[in-house]
């Protein structure tokens, strides 16, 4: 395939993935209930990192580097998660080994917010996938795994 056609095809694929992502977020927004936490994408990524950190504590700087935001953005994200309505989704403490660092842990309310947010997101995706045949879902899964592996390889080389 000529390079120009390949570039056009890649752009078309990227557009489709972007539109699917946008449609998923729109459907999720419409499905929100009063119990659903109002989280930004970066707030969810922060909660997700902390929820998966079994037996490990993250510092603000580690979270910032892991999710790829600027230090000032990370400060706003942490402040927001500390003051979500009447609940605090994260708790911050000075790191006992290095007083310049702040340790961040998930509170029970944060763990529940993460669970609810993820549940609604997954439910929306499942509804989209119901329209596919079993064969198409298997092929789609195969391709998603290839893309995800490629994504891991790209992010590791940066």
Mean pLDDT of 130-155: 88
Mean pLDDT of 101-106: 96
The per-residue pLDDT for 63 is 97
Could you tell me the pTM of the whole model? 0.77
The per-residue pLDDT for 34 is 57
Q: Give the chain's domains with CATH numbers.
A: 36-130 (1.10.10.10)
* Bridge partners of residue 58, in order along the sequence: 104
- 43 or 87, greater pLDDT: 43
Tokens 């997954």: give the residue: 122
**Tens-place pLDDT, residues 39-83:** 888 999 999 999 999 888 999 999 999 999 999 999 999 999 999
| Segment (H or E) for 154 | helix 134-157
- Sheet with strand 102-106: strands edge to edge: 58-59, 102-106, 90-94
């Amino acid at each position: 395939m000529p390079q120009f056609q390949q570039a056009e095809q890649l752009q078309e694929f990227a557009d489709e993935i972007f539109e699917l992502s946008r449609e998923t977020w729109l459907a999720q927004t419409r499905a929100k209930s009063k119990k659903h936490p109002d989280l930004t994408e970066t707030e969810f990524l922060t909660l997700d990192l902390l929820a998966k950190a079994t037996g490990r504590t993250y510092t603000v700087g580690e979270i910032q580097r892991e999710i790829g935001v600027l230090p000032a953005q990370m400060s706003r994200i942490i402040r927001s998660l500390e003051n979500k309505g009447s609940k605090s989704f994260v708790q911050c403490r000075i790191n006992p080994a290095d007083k310049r660092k702040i340790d961040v842990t998930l509170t029970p309310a944060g763990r529940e917010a993460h669970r609810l947010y993820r549940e609604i997101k997954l439910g929306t995706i499942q509804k989209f996938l119901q329209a596919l045949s079993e064969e198409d879902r298997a092929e789609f899964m195969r391709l998603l795994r290839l893309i995800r592996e490629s994504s891991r390889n790209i992010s590791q080389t940066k």
